[in-house]
Structure formats: C-alpha cells, structure tokens
Amino acid sequence: MRASRLAIVAQTAGAYLTLASDRDLLATARDAAANAESTVALTQELRRAGLGNAADVESAKTVLAQAQSDVENYTTLVAQDRNALELMVGGAVEDALLPASLVELDGVIASAPAGLSSEVLRERPDVLEAEHQLKAAYAGVRPGPPCSRRSI
C-alpha cells in the first residue's frame, strides 16, 4: 500500500516537473517564432531595397515555418502534460496551482543541506522503490546445488 502511494507521488511530481519544463520550452519556441517573423520582415525589406535576394527571404521563411511548427508541438505537449497531471490527481487543477516554469520552482526544489540525516534519504520514494526492487530481485535468486569437483 505504501509503495503504491509513493509511486503515485513520484509520478505526480514527475508530471508536474515535466509540465514546467515543457512550458519553458513553449516560451522559448514562441520567442524563436517571433524572432523568425522579424527576420522574414527584415529580409523582405532588404530585398525590396536591392540588398537581398529571394533565396535569403525563402531561407528566413523556412526558419519561421520550423519555429511555428515547434510552437504547435510544444503547445500540444503542454496540453498533454496538463491532462496527464489532471488524470493522476483525479480532477481539474486550477491554473494557480500549476507551475509557469522551472524557474518558478527554483526555491521550492532545493538541494539537501549538509548534515542532513540519512534517515531522510531512506524515506525518499525513489530510494524506497529501488530498495524494494533490490529485495524482490534478491528474493528471486535461489542458490543452485553445490558444485563439486567430481561433477565437473
């Protein structure tokens, strides 16, 4: 029972961090798309002024198309991340409870201070899961019949 709860907590925390990460990637993709739009406009102006060529404009448009595709992909990922999180918690999650970015979580997720008891480490869900897997693997190992020189 406890292992199940720990697994759910770990999965929920992972989904929460994935959402934060994908929101950061979406913001970066949106910035890249905005920059690509500016580059297309600039290269078109340069071409009209006789300082550029059609290949430069087409190249800038290709970069813009890729940036717009990235925005669409990350928008989909963010929606999927949110759906996964809401599925795990069993209902809708208010926007105020969701992370805007990983930077927002910087103060929430901290490194362990020096001198922290190892008992705290033993209570971590990932450590407990690894311990249970090790015990299960060990329990499944049965020693074979003893080897004797005569049977070789």
User: Could you report the per-residue pLDDT of 11-23, keeping only the tens digit for each?
Assistant: 888 899 999 999 9
- Domain-located, residue 25: yes
Residue-wise pLDDT for 25-51, tens only, equals: 999 999 999 999 999 999 999 999 999
Decide if 152 is inside a domain. no
Q: How many domains does the chain have?
A: 1
Residue 121 lies in a domain: no
Q: To the nearest whole number, what is the mean pLDDT of the chain?
A: 86
Average pLDDT for 107-133:
76
Check residue 152 and give its pLDDT: 47
Asked whether residue 116 is assigned to any structural domain, the reply reads no
CB atoms within 10 A of CB 4: 8
**Domain membership of residue 91 as a residue range:** 2-97
Q: Is 151 a member of any domain?
A: no
112 within domain boundaries: no
Per-residue pLDDT of 64-80, as tens digits, reads 999 999 999 999 999 99
Please report the pLDDT score of residue 47 as a whole number.
95
